[in-house]
Amino acid sequence: MGLANPAVFMRWSGRVLPYVSLASAACLMLALWMAFQAPADYQQGETVRIMFVHVPAAWLALFVYSIMAASALGTLVWRHPLADVSQRAAAPIGMVFTLLCLITGSIWGKPMWGTWWVWDARLTSVLVLFLMYCGILALWRAVEDPLKAARAVAVLTLVGFINVPIIKFSVDWWNTLHQPASVLRMDGPALHPAMLWPLLAMAGALSLVAISLHMAAMRTEILRRRLRARQIVLLDRLSRLDPSERVTA
């Protein structure tokens, strides 16, 4: 596969990234406009607009973690050269979307449930996802050898993937304060189209933002690895110089 080569990925992503970034900015503007054009809910009033950020953030938190799990498989099974680059680039993005989901959910919960937080299955499992992201980022920094770090993080990511179906089905398996799924369900969406379309538009726009950020972060990670490799080459050269030459160098 041609894109397995970091040099090919850098060339390809360098051409595509400006267009994806522009498209995501345009889609985000359109989605925001749609979110504020949508009617207020007859029960929830204006707070229903929080849904247009909260729900896509929750979807992306799970989606980014799924990408990381696929990348972890790529690292452990196929040793794909870009797999751990992708995993490392995705972790901060997933962490931010999970935090956004938690904070906006809390802000939405206060007027609707009368409380900022409850320790029910959905909220707690999303908090566990956030802690998993933090743990993965900490592990990357804690292990000095990049290869060992990539393998340790891949194992942790795959173990943590068990939390993804738990989050999705927590509202069905346990009696929670959080409402059950209203978009991704077998009987079709329970939302009125006036609210469904802005929600889907925002989900599409934020997905494009996440894709462009992931691509940009992967490019940065490849550059950082090149930097490390070049530093080793430079140090090797310096060590081969005669002591007299070393002083002038």
Asked whether position 46 contacts another protein by CB under 8 A, the answer is yes
Residue 206 CA to residue 200 CA, distance in Å, equals 10
- Is 94 a binding residue for another protein by CB under 8 A? The answer is no
In the list 88, 104, 135, 144, the residue contacting another protein (rule: CB under 8 A) is: 104
The reply to whether 53 sits near another protein by the rule CB under 8 A is yes
55 in helix, strand or coil?
A: helix
Angle of helix 121-142 versus helix 83-113 axis, rounded to 10: 150
Q: In this complex, which beta carbon is closest to another protein, that of residue 6 or of residue 160?
A: 6
Contacts with another protein by CB under 8 A: the residue count is 47
Which residues ranging from 214 to 243 are in contact with another protein (CB under 8 A)? 216-217, 219-220, 222-227, 229-234, 237-238, 241
User: Which helix or strand (DSSP H or E) is residue 173 part of?
Assistant: helix 163-173
Say whether residue 207 binds another protein (CB under 8 A): no
CB closer to another protein out of 158 and 216: 216
Looking at the DSSP bridge assignments, the partners of residue 45 are 41
Whose Cβ is closer to another protein: residue 105's or residue 160's? Answer: 105
Considering only 27, 54, 65, 211, the residue that binds another protein (CB under 8 A) is: 54
Name which of 28 and 166 has its Cβ closer to another protein: 28
Q: Which residues contact 170 (CB under 8 A, 6 or more apart)?
A: 121, 122, 125, 176, 178
Q: Write the CB contacts of 133 (distance below 8 Å, at least 6 apart in sequence).
A: 65, 91, 94, 95, 98
Contact 52, 204 (CB under 8 A): no
Give residues with Cβ within 8 angstroms of 193, minimum separation 6: none
Binding site for another protein (CB under 8 A): 6-7, 40, 44-47, 49-50, 53-54, 57, 81, 92-93, 96, 99-100, 103-104, 107-108, 110-111, 206, 209, 213, 216-217, 219-220, 222-227, 229-234, 237-238, 241, 249
